[in-house]
């Protein structure tokens, strides 16, 4: 997860130093988990002000299969 979002960060802020995976993960705070009747899972993390206070949205088809990762709100 961190690698996918970090690649987005790299494109947006070429001059800024990159965070290690551990540094990135330590900034995130779990906000909520939503499990749909069909088994799809949406997980939301507060961004620790990495992306101007937006939420990182992780969408899974199953617990092992990531559907998408993005920035919301």
CA separation, residue 47 to residues 13, 66, 70 (Å): 16, 19, 11
Task: Please say if the pLDDT value at position 12 is more than 60.
Answer: no
Question: What pLDDT digit, counting tens, does each position of 15-62 carry?
Answer: 667 788 899 899 999 999 999 999 999 999 999 988 888 999 999 998
The predicted structure's pLDDT at residue 37: 95
């Amino acid at each position: 997860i961190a690698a996918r979002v970090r690649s987005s960060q790299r494109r947006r802020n070429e001059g800024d130093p990159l965070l290690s995976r551990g540094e990135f993960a330590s900034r995130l705070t779990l906000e909520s988990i939503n499990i749909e009747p069909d088994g799809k899972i949406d997980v939301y993390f507060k961004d620790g002000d990495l992306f101007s206070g937006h939420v990182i949205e992780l969408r899974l088809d199953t617990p092992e299969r990531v559907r998408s990762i993005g920035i919301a709100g």
